[in-house]
Structure 1
Amino acid sequence: MSTRGEGIAAGNSAGPSSFSRWIRVVPALLIIGGATFVAAYYVPLRRAHMLLIQEQQRSNEKGRELEQTLSQVRGELQAKAAEVDRLEAERQQAAAAKRSGVERVEQLKTDLAGKLDKQIKKGVAAIAAADGHVFVALSESAVFLPSTVDVSPQGQGLLCQVSGALSSIAGQAPLRVGAVSGPPDSVPPALHAAYPTPWELSAVRAATVAQTLQDKCAVAGARLSAVGHAEHDPAAAALGETKLPAGRVEISIALPGASPAQK
């Protein structure tokens, strides 16, 4: 009995002591577990969260930069589109003006052909159009006295008829008088001493015709210009189908906006 009692007494004395130890161990375990949780989960999650916030901020900044760039590009594109529209409008306007000018030239050519029909049929006059100009070409034999630089009475009447036709159709547009003398050997012997070269002969004849238009045909001098071409005829291609001789007088008129556009 004594032994059993001692055992019970010993067990009773050991129980409270073991419980006390667990009471002390459990908080330590909780602290260790909490520290382990913080170290293993919370800190990495916190870091990941901060990284995500930073990445979001960078993304937002990039988004704002892209939006600014896109807005700038939109503005540039709108400006370019406006410039293209303006250039296209100018091109269409220039094309319309050119068509109108070409139509005016052709109409002027047709009207002149009707007014100078008799001279054209006689082979002393021809009409052509090129580069926004209308040319009335007259044989030198129909304008000048033979082997002279003087305008004949017949030539004076013809010049006044041409200038009158041009003025009635084209108003007060400038008139350019050109004279072509033909090759060097075409200078008449009677004129060779005074005008030994085609340049000199053609220049004098052009000036004489311009003077006649002013003095006898009531063409204002401010509208007139005169040039000698010698044997170099700028209207030769346009007059290529005519049968006029190389020596001739050409009166041309230019219509604004009728010249072809430069390439």
Structure 2
Amino acid sequence: MTEVPHEHGRNQERGRSMVPWLVTALVVLLAGGVLYLAHRGSQQAQALAEQSRVAAEEAANRARDAEAARVQLAEKLAAVESERTKLATEKEQLSSEKEQLSQTVQEQEAELAKLKATYDDLQDKMKAEIANGAIKLSQAEGRIQVDLVDKVLFDSGDASISTRGQEVLTRLGGVLAKVEDKFIQVSGHTDDSPPSQKLQGTFPTNWELSVARAVNVVRFLQEKGGVPARRLVAAGYGEMRPVSANSTPQGRARNRRIEVLLMPDLPSKRNPTTVKRALADSTTPKSAVKPAKGTK
């Protein structure tokens, strides 16, 4: 019975000696757990950091792509707006051109209608002279031309208008006075025979004779026919513009004539003074257009 307490004491002593080892083991285990947990936490933190970095890069890439898409879309919108503006301008121009074309067509149709009315009126007023060949009436390119042989208006070799000529010009003036949008050029023409010695004192050459006849017709149309002077032009061509050969009496008779030419004029686009000057410079030979000395 005395040995039991002794064994019990040795057991207690052995137990007390193992406590430090157990504490140490426990500390080691705890330290290992802490290190493991710390290491694992670090790995997780690194993983999260990597994920955050990747996510940030992806977000930046998406932002750059979105900005590039926005810029591209803005450029396309600007191009579309520019094209729309261009098309709108072209549409406006086409509309304006269409209106101008329509107005031009209407003006041309109105001009043709007035031209036909004038032509028909001349035919009616001059039908007797047209029938016997004393007057020739023609129409082309918006112009009307009345050719009168000299014997209808003048005595042989004279520039004074005969009684018959006054009656013819009165009827002609009645038509021309109603024409408001045309210039009227009266041109004198002769054959190639020079004036007789009796007439050469008054008309040294055919220039003077043709000019004097044209001016006298213009004066009559203005003073007796009521045609406004601003629309009248006188020109003399002498024998320089024949319409037939001067080798026959019939040809010379055709060349001795007065031409009355009605030329279109739009007042809004032309200056009457300028047109008269241009006509005189471009179509009239270098001769005087005032009445020759001794004419009426």
TM-score computed with the length of structure 1 as normaliser: 0.76
1:201 maps onto 2:209 in alignment: yes
SS in 1 for 2:157: coil
Is 1:188 the counterpart of 2:195? The answer is yes
Output one character per residue of 1:83-110: Cα deviation in whole Å (capped at 9) or x when no partner: 1110111012102211221232123212
Q: Report Cα offsets for 1:108-151 as digits up to 9, x if no partner.
A: 21221122111011111011123322222100121111012222
Matched, 1:245 2:254: yes
The correspondence of residues 223-238 of structure 1 with structure 2, limited to 5 A, is 223-231=231-239
1:105 corresponds to 2:112: no
SS at match of 1:113: helix
2:152 to 142, 147, 153: 142
Which residue number in structure 1 is paired with residue 86 of structure 2?
Answer: 76
Q: What is the match of residue 179 of structure 2?
A: 170
Equivalent pair of 1:149/1:205 in contact (CA under 8 Å):
yes
Structure 2 unaligned regions, length at least 5? 1-13, 244-250, 267-296
Q: Relative to 1, partners in 2 of residues 1:123 and 1:161: Cα closer, same or farther, differing over 3 Å?
A: same
* Percent of pairs with identical residues: 20
Q: RCO greater where, 1 or 2, for CA within 8 Å and sep 6 or more?
A: 1
Q: 1:64 to 1:192 in 2, by over 3 A?
A: same
**Structure 1 residues 230, 99: CA separation in 2 closer, same or farther (over 3 Å shift)?**
farther
Task: Report which of the two structures shows the higher radius of gyration computed on alpha carbons.
Answer: 2
Q: Is the 8 A contact 2:181 2:264 kept in 1?
A: no
* Corresponding residue SS for 1:170: coil
Local SS of the residue matching 1:148: coil
Q: Which residue of 2 is the match for residue 261 of structure 1?
A: none
Q: 1:217 to 1:51 in 2, by over 3 A?
A: closer
Cα shift at 1:32: 3.1
Matches within 5 A, 1:1-263: 13=22, 16-17=26-27, 19-167=29-177, 170=179, 175-182=184-191, 185-190=192-197, 191-192=199-200, 194-231=202-239, 245-256=254-265
Q: Match of 2:255, SS?
A: coil
What secondary structure sits across from 1:145 in the alignment?
A: coil
CA distance in 2, matches of 1:200, 1:32: 125
Q: CA–CA distance in 1 between the matches of 2:175 and 2:78?
A: 67
Give the aligned residue type for 2:138: A
Q: Over residues 183-218 of structure 1, what are the superposed CA-to-partner deviations in whole Å (9 max), with x where a residue is unaligned? A: xx2333344564444433321211111223344445
State the distance in 2 between where 1:189 and 1:43 align: 120
Cα distance in structure 2, aligned partners of 1:200 and 1:146: 15
Which of 154-163 and 25-34 deviates more? Answer: 25-34
Gaps of 5+ in 1: 237-242, 258-263
SS of residue matched to 1:245: helix
Q: Secondary structure at the match of 2:155?
A: coil
Equivalent residue for 1:239?
A: none
CA 1:133–1:148 in 2, change beyond 3 Å: closer, same or farther? same
> Cα distance, 1:15 vs. partner?
5.5
Paired positions, count: 241
Shift of 1:65: 4.3
**C-alpha spacing 1:50/1:216, structure 2 compared with 1 (3 Å):** closer
Instruction: Tell me by how many angstroms 1:155 deviates.
Output: 1.3
CA contact (8 A) 2:183 2:265 kept: no
Deviation at 1:17, TM superposition (A): 4.9
**Partner AA of 2:149 in structure 1:** S
Deviation at residue 69 of structure 1 after TM alignment: 4.1
